[in-house]
Chains A and B, each alone.
Chain A
Amino acid sequence: MSLPAYATIPERILHTLYLIVCGLIFLFLILPILIIMPLSFNVEPYFSFTEGMLRLDSDSYSLRWYKDIFTNGMANPDEPVFSKWFADSWNNSQWVRATRNSFFIAICSTIIATALGTLAALGLSQSEMPARSLITSLLISPMIVPLVITATGMFFFYSAAGIAKTYLGVILAHVTLGVPFVIITVTATLVGFDRSLIRAANNLGANGWTTFRRIIMPLIAPGMISGALFAFVTSLDELVAVLFLADVEQRTIPRQMWSGIREQISPTILAVATILVCLSIVLLTTVELLRRRSERLRGITPA
């Protein structure tokens, strides 16, 4: 944004001030996420910058908290044979176990949420859909209803059904919470979807499944993948349902961080957080690329 040549001096000053304010707001958004990265390399068990770190003294930085992710909870962290050390870490390290749980739950719930959500979005985007707005608002509502209420309801119901404190219970809960994101992203891809393509496919003799696989699917694939990634991140980041529904067996990364923050606060959490931030950068980049690809596919080229 540039000022026109006729701008007066007070206008120029105000404009500069405005840009400074905007810069500060962007800093407010991004700085907290960046600041944990150097802190996670702290050699001391503190959450703050030590004087050595400010002097960029290499002795004040270390990877000990990253090592701690793998060794915390191990039977013998100093095992010299790597295969044994690895097996020990894989089975006993709290963080490694939590990561395995998180990914297992997130992958399962993403697959179910994407399948169900895509189907529903296909139905919702048809102009003949009856009671569309009612059904849409119902399907989106898991995102709106406070998590504590959802988790409380699920706790009673799943306990009665005998699936509380099991993987199945947590996965079902995460599917429910991830579905709105899939619907929103896939529906957004279907806006402006050229329906005559479907008619053309039918006209050329394709049945419903072939039409879906060969015509619809490739066009909505970017939306589906973005939706799946949203559902994946939702599950990976979800804590309230896990607090209510999961047992020690199903501890996930957020659950482990939660007890870490509340009980034994150590920079290991910052190390985990740094890794998670890197993961979200990768995911965000993927989604952004997919969005552009989808726009290109649908012929909406950026101006």
Chain B
Amino acid sequence: MVASASSIESSSTSGVIVAEDGIPLKAKLARTTRRTRLRALLLTMPLLLFLVITFVIPIGQMLLRSVNHTAVVNVVPNFAVAIQDWDENDSEYPSEELIKIFVQDLARARKVREVGKTVGNLAVRVNYEIPGTASIFKSAARKVGKFEDENYREQLFALHKKWQNPNLWRTLKRISHAYTPSFYVAAIDRQYDEQGNIVKKPEKLSIYVDIFLRTLWLSAVITGICLLLAFPISFLMSVLPLKTSNLLMIMVLLPFWTSLLVRTTAWIAILQSQGVINNILVWLGVFGDESRPQMIYNQTGTIITMVHILLPFMVLPLFSVMKTIPPSYMRAARSMGGSWLYSFYRIYLPQTVPGIAAGTLLVFILAIGYYITPAIVGGQDGLLISNLIAGHMQQSLNWSLAAALGSILLVIVLFLYWLYNKFVGVDNLKFG
């Protein structure tokens, strides 16, 4: 650098400044910049690669799984191709030829043990579409080996009357693709009717949209309460001398550093019907011993516990913004005759908006993905969408539906994260 700078005088006749080695200075600078840029990028590369492998690809695969279900294509491959030529408007059932292919595919599939390619997988897949049909596939697979080599349709239809349902065959045609939107259809409480149109599910079976709305609503309530609680204490800490505010900050940070399960357990001890609060209320005579209010294992429990857990995430950004607001602004407003409320509303509040935006977005984003706390203290009506996703992953094992619900949740969260980036900036995230 020093050498090239000293040789600037030796600029060529064309007016381009050239370094000692004859390379234009501009090009040299560009090269140095490129090198430093590359070095910066290289430093982040190991982590970037790590996260792509352990985080981005797994989530991408999950997104893929929500539209990709290969059971039909894998178990009855020939039939899955052939049935696409069948026009369900022309005939009630597929042709004898097609059913023969189906029966042969089924007979072959019976011997397969590979996960994802067994008759059981096919039965489960069809069962998602038409509940109560899993067993006819399993029993048919056991019996098709003994079929005579003619009248396949008759023999199959004789096994169970459900085979005679034209809707079964129409559904089979619809799901005989590797890629299917049907899990998203199910995730928004819709289903296919007999004609293959997407219609609303009956009220009794609709749950997901309600739970999504409930998740958004509860998260909004929790965020609102957090803001209401965080604002006064952040303000207090921002005007107190540093020594006192540091002490108070510890009271905010200690819950932040304490295990989530510990805090949830603590709230069980406090809120349960034999818990601390109820005992005090009964002792004070507010409630009779028999009529203790239910404060946990329902929505109330979820809200109280989650507010407690997420409050620090609201206090920290609010406090760091309030700290920078000079107190003289409020004094000036007051001295010019504004009432306390008016000055607060017109002078102080607008300056805290960055902190409010950062806190609310962060708390809301974290709240809509919560799983552990609602699972422990939520009871039935305090469950959130994450709990349903986990339920489909671990109990009902409908992984594609779990992936579809997860993808919808992910889109909502990423949209909020984008908002956060746009208005707050991810660089401004700080703890303590």
A184: chain B residues within 8 A (beta carbon): 429-431
Chain A, interface size category, equals 35 or more
Q: Which of A63-71, A76-84, A124-132 contacts B (4 or more CB under 8 A)?
A: A124-132
A281: chain B residues within 8 A (beta carbon): 254, 257
Alpha-carbon gap, A233 to B427, bound state (A): 22
Contact A146 B274 (CB under 8 A): no
Most buried by A among B42, B47, B369: B47
B426 at the interface (CB under 8 A from A): yes
A88 at the interface (CB under 8 A from B): no
Q: Which of B305-364 contact A (CB under 8 A)?
A: 308, 311-312, 340
B129 CB, nearest partner CB in chain A, Å:
22
B23 at the interface (CB under 8 A from A): no
A154: chain B residues within 8 A (beta carbon): 54-55, 58
Partner of A284, one of B54, B254, B269: B254
Contact A148 B390 (CB under 8 A): yes
Most buried by B among A48, A146, A230, A244: A146
- Contacts known (A30-B254, A33-B255); A261 close to B54, Cβ less than 8 A: no
Alpha-carbon gap, A30 to B253, bound state (A): 10
B119 CB, nearest partner CB in chain A, Å:
22
B17 at the interface (CB under 8 A from A): no
Contact A47 B432 (CB under 8 A): no
Partner of B36, one of A21, A28, A128: A128
Partner of B41, one of A129, A133, A273: A129
Contact B261 A239 (CB under 8 A): yes
Partner of B50, one of A155, A175, A257: A175
Contact A129 B40 (CB under 8 A): yes
Alpha-carbon gap, A152 to B397, bound state (A): 12
Alpha-carbon gap, A254 to B340, bound state (A): 48
Contact B40 A126 (CB under 8 A): yes
Contact B248 A26 (CB under 8 A): yes
- Contacts known (A120-B43, A144-B413); A128 close to B251, Cβ less than 8 A: no
Partner of A261, one of B60, B265, B371, B431: B265
Alpha-carbon gap, A262 to B229, bound state (A): 30
Q: Which of B408-427 contact A (CB under 8 A)?
A: 409-410, 413-414, 417, 421, 425-427
Alpha-carbon gap, A139 to B55, bound state (A): 10
Q: Which of A139-187 contact B (CB under 8 A)?
A: 139-142, 144-150, 152-158, 172-173, 175-176, 179, 181, 184-185, 187
B268 CB, nearest partner CB in chain A, Å:
7
B233 at the interface (CB under 8 A from A): yes
Alpha-carbon gap, A230 to B432, bound state (A): 11
Contact A152 B265 (CB under 8 A): no
A288 at the interface (CB under 8 A from B): yes
B395 at the interface (CB under 8 A from A): no
A217 at the interface (CB under 8 A from B): no
- Contacts known (A181-B431, A284-B254); A156 close to B44, Cβ less than 8 A: no
- Contacts known (A18-B232, A237-B261); A48 close to B48, Cβ less than 8 A: no
B252: chain A residues within 8 A (beta carbon): 29
A213 CB, nearest partner CB in chain B, Å:
15
Residue of A nearest to B236 (CB): A22
Partner of A48, one of B46, B248, B269: B269
B58: chain A residues within 8 A (beta carbon): 150, 153-154, 156-158
A48: chain B residues within 8 A (beta carbon): 269, 272, 274-276, 279
B185 at the interface (CB under 8 A from A): no
Q: Which of B71-79, B160-168, B197-205, B398-406 contacts A (4 or more CB under 8 A)?
A: B398-406
A233: chain B residues within 8 A (beta carbon): 257
A280 at the interface (CB under 8 A from B): yes
Q: Which of A1-53 contact B (CB under 8 A)?
A: 1, 11, 18-19, 21-22, 25-26, 28-30, 32-33, 35-36, 39, 46-49
Alpha-carbon gap, A218 to B118, bound state (A): 60
Contact B233 A291 (CB under 8 A): no
B155 at the interface (CB under 8 A from A): no
A36: chain B residues within 8 A (beta carbon): 262, 265-266, 269
Contact A29 B265 (CB under 8 A): no
A60 at the interface (CB under 8 A from B): no
Partner of B48, one of A138, A148, A270: A138
B272: chain A residues within 8 A (beta carbon): 47-48
Alpha-carbon gap, A293 to B256, bound state (A): 21
B402 CB, nearest partner CB in chain A, Å:
6
Partner of A137, one of B261, B413, B421: B421
Partner of B62, one of A25, A35, A156: A156
Contact B44 A152 (CB under 8 A): no
Q: Mark B81-119, 1 if CB is under 8 A from A, else 0.
A: 000000000000000000000000000000000000000
Contact B399 A135 (CB under 8 A): no
A108 at the interface (CB under 8 A from B): no
Q: Which of A238-288 contact B (CB under 8 A)?
A: 239-240, 243-244, 254, 257-258, 261-262, 269-270, 273, 276-277, 280-281, 283-284, 287-288
The 4 closest A-B pairs by CB, nearest first: A146-B369, A123-B43, A153-B58, A157-B58
13 more contacts with CB within 8 A, not counting A123-B45, A148-B406, are A21-B232, A48-B272, A116-B50, A119-B44, A123-B41, A123-B43, A146-B371, A148-B386, A156-B58, A156-B62, A158-B58, A240-B372, A273-B261
Q: List 7 A-B contacts (CB under 8 A).
A: A19-B236, A32-B266, A145-B410, A145-B413, A146-B406, A150-B58, A284-B253
